[in-house]
Structure 1
Amino acid sequence: MSRVFGIELCRSGALPAGIATAVIGVAGLYVLALTGQTSLWDQQWNLLAVFQRIMLVVLWPLALAAGAWQAGRDRRCRMQELLGTTPAPVRRRLRPAAAATALCLAAGYLLVLAAGAPKVATAAGYPGSGWPAVTGVGALALVAAGVVGLGLGRLLPYAYTPAVLGAGGLAGLLAAIEATKLGDTTKPGVALLLPFFTSTISEFQAIGGAVSAGQAWWFGGVTAGGLVLFLARNRLVRLLAVVPPALGLALAAPMLTATAFPVDPAATAEVCTTGSEPQVCVTAAHSRNLPALVVPARDALRLLAGLPDAPDSVHEAVPGPDRTQPASEAWLDSDNLDQAGNTAELTARILAGAGTPLCVRDESSDYLEVLRARAVTAAWLYGSHPAPGVTVSAAEQALRDTMWKALVALPADEQARRVAAVRAAGLTCGDQAAALGIGAGR
């Protein structure tokens, strides 16, 4: 049997299908390096596993077509009648093809993970939880596509079957994305029956264990159904191919109603400096950034010390609608940690809003006014205008220059009062532009 399996690997289309999966998957990872977007997957193992699943929108139809191509081999070689005269059962003859296809597709998928592993290992501070299950389900979903392709290719042994399945599979998945994109992203529902995720996650999220278990039941059922379709000889048995997917769906459905992307408490847990110096804290997900944050954070605390009830520690602000900032803390939004290599710019970013995070969304009508108030506040605390790292258009800079001149023209105690008001507004997610009282219409 092992000899037959080895021949199948060498002479069938299974190995090229696995190689194509690996090549396309690795290219999908690293093509983002051309635009500097590898942070979509290289910051955590969870992100890599989820991004790899997203690429199944292309790899899944490819596996479907590869399976159909493999199933049509006997017809292309005009060997159907000859093989039909052999005494060996059909199942025994077809099993090596199914095993080779499944093995090569799964190996190709895992090679994509291996290609991204070195970059993740050097960048991730916290590995994340649940990613092995996410990867395993992704490999199973790809195997399911290959096996279903085998079954459909044997059922419809025509030259155009692989092309139709590949194109139709891609079109179907794209249509499914459009049909499900308006749903609740935290509870995607039927979208979880797709082989890929329709959205990325943050480094503070995980994939629910119940979701991975439910998807495993579903894709396991699809794989079993494809095997029945491929190995069966008569039409009656082939009709039974719908039973395993139906059973898998019944077992999966209760699990897929859970929150798909829950917050991972271990990722949001704080990692802090120790000792007598002012405390600086980041989340476990960004623990690698802590050493680079210490100096600019303590510089920012020194500059904030002149305000009433000045903060005495700096903390990374975890994204979320229900965050309450204590007056004794200065907060820094997570996305600012990308500037951890530039001390002056990171200090200025902590000083924006006098040590408070940005609360308004970019679609808000007062978004630009709040940004200007925060930038002018940072410049006042830093002692120079514009503050380090600020790069805006000439027209926008002119507006900020006007606000700066209006602020510094006020008496010194009034300047300090307004900057303190900006911080007070930021602590409660109030209107920081109104608190500064300088700008368009103010």
Structure 2
Amino acid sequence: MSRILGIELRRCGALLAGAATAAIGVTGLYVLALTGQTALWDQQWNILAFFQRIMLVIIWPLALAAGAWQAGRDRRNRVEELLGTTPAPRWQRMRPSAVVTAACLAAGYLLVLAGGAPKVAAVAGYPGTGWPAVTLVGVLALVAAGWLGLGVGRLLPYAYTPAVLGVGSLAALLVAVEATRPSEITDPGAALLLPFFTSTISEFEMVAGPVSTGQAWWFGGLAAGGLVLYLATSPLARLLAVVPPALGLALAAPMLTVPLEKAFPADPAAVAEVCTTDDGPRVCVTAAHSRRLPALAAPAREALRLLAKLPDPPVSVHEAVPDPGRAQPAAEAWVDGDNLGQTREPAELTARILAGAGTPLCVRPDEDAYLDVLRARSVAAAWLHGSHPVPGQHFFGTEQAVRDEMWQTFTALPADEQVRRVAAVRAAGLTCGDQAAALGVGAGR
């Protein structure tokens, strides 16, 4: 059997399809690296596996077209009738082609993972949960495309079938992206039936186990249907090709009809804290960012020293976990996880922790108060740091003039009033209150 598969591998175009899959995937990863956008995939194994699935929007139609091209090989070579006279059953002669197609597509997909592995291994502090299942479902989805292409290519053995399948499926998938894109207020719904994901996840999220299981049922059924269509020798057998996809969909539906927060829930292991263990003030980050703890420790402790100017100052620094329902304890200073990756300068890290007197930003960019709150947090950080502007903060034109005026107005207040207002900014931040109103300067206040 291995000799037969070796011959088939040399004769068919599956090897080229697998190589194209690997080349397109790895190129996609490192084009982003050249443009400084590796954070889209290199922060965690979970994110790499997820991003691979996103790239299936291009690779899946390629696999579909490659399968259809492979199915038409005998007709193109004008040996279809000759092979039909051999005593071996038709399905037995065609089976090696299906095996080789699946193996080459699977190998190409896994090579993409291997291509991104060195960079992820060098950056990720925590691997993430569930990424092997996400990867295996991606392999299954790609094999399903190849076998479905084989089946359709045999059913419609025309020269233009591969091109129509490839271009048509790409257009259909691009339309499906917009039609099923999940948002914060909608369920993913039919989007989870697509071979790729239509959104991204953070390093604190994971693909739920039931979602991967449901997708495995669906793509497994689709692959089986394509294989039956390819190997079938009678019209009745071809009609039976719809049974596996229908069964797979029926088994998958209960697992895929879930709200967005259940499809991509928070990963408890990723948000677990990793803390310093020496005798200094405690500094903690999430397990997802554990590699950044050594660089954060000294700047965080400097921020605690400066925050000691306030009454009842915090005594430890913690990365803010993405959990809207979690209240910030008064004894903790919080730093947003995004700040940890934006700079490695110790003085700038300290200034980012001091923003809002050690509280994370609660307002969204689309809210009216957003700019006023940013300015108030900046003034509080400058007062604690003892310099304006703080390290790493540079503005030009009108915005810098506004902040300079706020700083001058604030520092003209009596010293005890300055302390009271910065403490009020911190108190407002602990409860997600109005920090701009607490500072009381700027924007007509």
Superposed pair shares fold, TM > 0.5: yes
Q: Which residue of 1 aligns with 2:438?
A: 435
Q: Secondary structure at the match of 2:263?
A: coil
Q: Which residue of 2 aligns with 1:345?
A: 348
CA contact (8 A) 1:301 1:311 kept: yes
What CA deviation, in whole Å up to 9, does each residue of 1:33-55 have, x standing for no partner? 12211011111110000000000
- Cα gap change, 1:72 to 1:184, in 2 (>3 Å): farther
What CA deviation, in whole Å up to 9, does each residue of 1:39-80 have, x standing for no partner? 111111100000000000000000000000101111111111
* 1:47-196 aligned within 5 A: 47-182=47-182, 187-196=187-196
What CA deviation, in whole Å up to 9, does each residue of 1:251-297 have, x standing for no partner? 11111134111111111111111233110000111100000000000
Q: Which residue of 1 aligns with 2:272?
A: 269
**More moved, 251-260 vs 66-75:** 251-260
Q: Which residue of 2 aligns with 1:422?
A: 425
Q: Which residue of 2 aligns with 1:232?
A: 232
CA contact (8 A) 2:306 2:384 kept: yes
Q: Amino acid of the residue matched to residue 207 of structure 1?
A: V
Q: Which residue of 1 aligns with 2:10?
A: 10
Counterpart-to-counterpart distance in 1, 2:278 and 2:102: 55
Q: Which residue of 2 aligns with 1:379?
A: 382
The number of residue pairs the alignment matches comes to 442
Q: Secondary structure at the match of 2:207?
A: coil
User: Unaligned stretches of 5+ in structure 2?
Assistant: none
Question: Does 1:327 pair with 2:336?
Answer: no
Give 1:406's match in structure 2, choosing from 401, 409, 417: 409
Q: Amino acid of the residue matched to residue 313 of structure 1?
A: S
CA contact (8 A) 2:182 2:198 kept: no
Counting aligned pairs with the same residue, the percent is: 76
Q: Amino acid of the residue matched to residue 419 of structure 1?
A: V
Task: Give, in angstroms, the shift of residue 182 of structure 1.
Answer: 4.9
Q: Secondary structure at the match of 2:313?
A: coil
Task: Give, in angstroms, the shift of residue 183 of structure 1.
Answer: 5.1
Counterpart-to-counterpart distance in 1, 2:358 and 2:56: 42
What CA deviation, in whole Å up to 9, does each residue of 1:108-157 have, x standing for no partner? 00000001111111111111111000000000000000000000000011
Task: Give, in angstroms, the shift of residue 393 of structure 1.
Answer: 3.4
**More moved, 25-34 vs 52-61:** 25-34
Q: Secondary structure at the match of 1:199?
A: coil
CA contact (8 A) 2:192 2:215 kept: yes
**More moved, 320-329 vs 48-57:** 320-329
What CA deviation, in whole Å up to 9, does each residue of 1:178-227 have, x standing for no partner? 11125557841221111011111111111111111111111000000000
Q: Which residue of 2 aligns with 1:367?
A: 370
Task: Give, in angstroms, the shift of residue 84 of structure 1.
Answer: 1.5
Q: Secondary structure at the match of 2:335?
A: strand
Counterpart-to-counterpart distance in 2, 1:214 and 1:339: 37
Q: Which residue of 1 aligns with 2:285?
A: 282
Counterpart-to-counterpart distance in 2, 1:188 and 1:251: 17
Counterpart-to-counterpart distance in 1, 2:343 and 2:8: 52
Task: Give, in angstroms, the shift of residue 321 of structure 1.
Answer: 1.8
CA contact (8 A) 1:348 1:382 kept: yes
Counterpart-to-counterpart distance in 1, 2:255 and 2:394: 48
Q: Amino acid of the residue matched to residue 58 of structure 2?
A: V
CA contact (8 A) 1:354 1:378 kept: yes
Q: Amino acid of the residue matched to residue 235 of structure 2?
A: R
Q: Amino acid of the residue matched to residue 411 of structure 2?
A: V
Question: Does 1:309 pair with 2:312?
Answer: yes
Q: Secondary structure at the match of 2:145?
A: helix
- Cα gap change, 1:263 to 1:98, in 2 (>3 Å): same
Q: Amino acid of the residue matched to residue 121 of structure 2?
A: A
Q: Which residue of 2 aligns with 1:397?
A: 400
Q: Give the TM-score normalised by structure 2.
A: 0.97
Q: Amino acid of the residue matched to residue 246 of structure 1?
A: A
Q: Which residue of 2 aligns with 1:24?
A: 24
Counterpart-to-counterpart distance in 2, 1:245 and 1:233: 19
Q: Secondary structure at the match of 1:404?
A: helix
Q: Amino acid of the residue matched to residue 432 of structure 2?
A: C
Counterpart-to-counterpart distance in 2, 1:242 and 1:185: 34
Q: Secondary structure at the match of 1:153?
A: helix
Counterpart-to-counterpart distance in 2, 1:59 and 1:30: 16
**More moved, 262-271 vs 336-345:** 336-345
CA contact (8 A) 1:339 1:345 kept: no
Counterpart-to-counterpart distance in 2, 1:21 and 1:197: 18
Q: Secondary structure at the match of 1:384?
A: coil
Q: Secondary structure at the match of 2:99?
A: helix
Counterpart-to-counterpart distance in 2, 1:92 and 1:156: 20
CA contact (8 A) 1:186 1:261 kept: no
What CA deviation, in whole Å up to 9, does each residue of 1:395-424 have, x standing for no partner? 211111111111111111111111111111
Counterpart-to-counterpart distance in 2, 1:9 and 1:374: 64
Q: Amino acid of the residue matched to residue 3 of structure 1?
A: R
- Cα gap change, 1:81 to 1:190, in 2 (>3 Å): same
Aligned-residue CA RMSD (Å): 1.2
- Cα gap change, 1:429 to 1:389, in 2 (>3 Å): same
User: Unaligned stretches of 5+ in structure 1?
Assistant: none
Counterpart-to-counterpart distance in 2, 1:439 and 1:190: 48
